[in-house]
Amino acid sequence: MRHFNYLSIACLIALSSCSKGKKGSQENAAGKTQAVAPPGMVIIPSGSFEMGTAQALFAQGNIPVRSGAEEWPPHRVILDAFYMDETEVTNSQFKEFVDATGYKTQAERPFSKEDYPNAKPQDLLPAAFVMAQLTKKVDIKTEHHTTWWKLTNGADWQNPEGPESNLDGRWDHPVVNIAYEDAEAYAKWAGKRLPTEAEWEYAARGGLEGKLYPWGDDFTPGGKHMANCWQGDFPNENTNKDGFITSSPVKSFPPNGYGLFDMAGNVWEIVADQYEQGYYQKSPKFAPKGGVGESIVEDGPVVHQRVIRGGSFLCNEGYCTGYRNAARQLSDDISSSFHTGFRCVKDMK
Ligand SMILES: [Ca+2]
Ligand SMILES: [Ca+2]
């Protein structure tokens, strides 16, 4: 049974192949061995950073920070170095995986009545969440997100907006309509893994300390759009000032200080962590791996709350701001949507 509740609280509300490269090393002029990132990946150096958002920032009304978003308290986190995909996993990369394995994504498979005895029959069919055609102006302050989201049968990674859509011209866009287990299956096939939430935020910050966005604190420095998000009155009008109504080819916007593209915007990215309320208050200092997410299903298998990161082409200043470094979005194990994908990391040892 697909629940949109969690996926959507915010921007909603809410990989070439992430190529199967080998880790490597080479000698520099001094004869010392240096790590060399696999193809399509970059080195994220070891270090520490302040994860989360300070309360003082929430209090500044002119700063686009969502309150109550579980970004508090800020806390120091220490991480070992790792490799990270420089881009979100693309449709062409995901096709290599599917061609090699015959894998079917969650959105392409029905759920069973035995597993979810109390689900409505229509909620068991293969489907993903797609933005609905609006029939009237929507006020996001008073209307429920289901007004502009629709669980769409036939929407899957090859048909992002539903059965009438396809991937023509979009092979270099990030793959979407991916659920957690799909991302995990791809990562395992590629000899990689999903980033922890802490690794993701540390990498997104690109070596800058305490900044709102991967490039700094000014969202559009010099008037330049640095990420694919939504301009205009969400969800009624997209003025398309950044040039992309939905997803964009990866690398359409400048990379951050670590050489990572689209950490802010384009599509949300699934990370490894489950979501536990209050986890930041007890998170270990070294390499936190997330808490224990409550199940979103009462009658049926355990379906954990999870975290997605980085915002999407639907995020905007008035509603979501998911493209901030510290922004967190609730999701779950089994929901797929047309603005959520992923990227992978790989250990250096
Ligand atoms: Ca856009
Ligand atoms: Ca992204």
Q: Is 83 inside any structural domain?
A: yes
Q: Is 31 inside any structural domain?
A: no
Q: Is 173 inside any structural domain?
A: yes
Ligand in closest contact with the CA of 260: 2
The count of other CB atoms within 10 Å of the CB of residue 308 is 34
Spacing, Cα 56 to ligand 2 middle (Å): 27
Which residues form the domain of 101?
Answer: 1-18+39-349
Q: Is 92 inside any structural domain?
A: yes
Q: Is 307 inside any structural domain?
A: yes
Cα distance between residue 53 and residue 344, in whole Å:
25
CATH of the domain at 133: 3.90.1580.10
Spacing, Cα 133 to ligand 1 middle (Å): 17
DSSP-derived 3-state class of residue 42: strand
Ligand in closest contact with the CA of 227: 1
Length of the chain: 349
Closest by CA to 179, choosing from 304, 38, 31, is 304
Cα distance between residue 282 and residue 52, in whole Å:
13
Look-up of token digits 């700094």:
216
Q: Is 73 inside any structural domain?
A: yes
Spacing, Cα 267 to ligand 2 middle (Å): 4
Ligand in closest contact with the CA of 226: 1
Between β-strands 82-85 and 345-347, what pairing exists: parallel, antiparallel or unpaired? antiparallel
pLDDT at position 14 is 36
Ligand in closest contact with the CA of 228: 1
Alpha-carbon 298 to chain mean position: 26
Spacing, Cα 86 to ligand 1 middle (Å): 20
Spacing, Cα 174 to ligand 2 middle (Å): 8
Q: Is 33 inside any structural domain?
A: no
pLDDT (tens, 9 = 90+) of the chain, 349 residues, equals: 565 443 333 333 332 333 333 345 566 666 666 789 999 999 999 999 999 988 666 666 655 556 555 898 999 999 999 999 999 999 999 999 999 999 999 999 999 999 888 888 988 999 999 998 888 899 887 888 888 899 999 999 999 999 999 999 999 999 999 999 999 999 999 999 999 999 999 999 999 999 999 999 999 999 999 999 999 999 999 999 999 999 999 999 999 999 999 999 999 999 999 999 999 999 999 999 999 998 888 888 899 999 999 999 999 987 788 999 999 998 999 999 999 999 999 999 8
Ligand in closest contact with the CA of 265: 2
Amino acid at 250: V
Ligand in closest contact with the CA of 238: 1
Look-up of token digits 């250990």:
347
Query: Could you give the number of structural domains in the chain?
Result: 1
- The whole model's pTM is what? 0.90
Q: DSSP states of 217-236 as a string? A: S-SSGGG---SB---SSTTT
Spacing, Cα 200 to ligand 2 middle (Å): 11
Closest by CA to 200, choosing from 77, 91, 317, 332, is 77
Amino acid at 235: P
pLDDT at position 292 is 93
Closest by CA to 348, choosing from 84, 86, 93, is 84
Spacing, Cα 22 to ligand 2 middle (Å): 24
DSSP-derived 3-state class of residue 78: strand
Spacing, Cα 228 to ligand 2 middle (Å): 9
Q: Is 24 inside any structural domain?
A: no
Spacing, Cα 314 to ligand 1 middle (Å): 7
Instruction: Strands of 160-245 (E only): list them.
Output: none
Between β-strands 268-274 and 340-341, what pairing exists: parallel, antiparallel or unpaired? parallel
φ and ψ of 227, to 5 deg:
-155, 155
The count of other CB atoms within 10 Å of the CB of residue 34 is 11
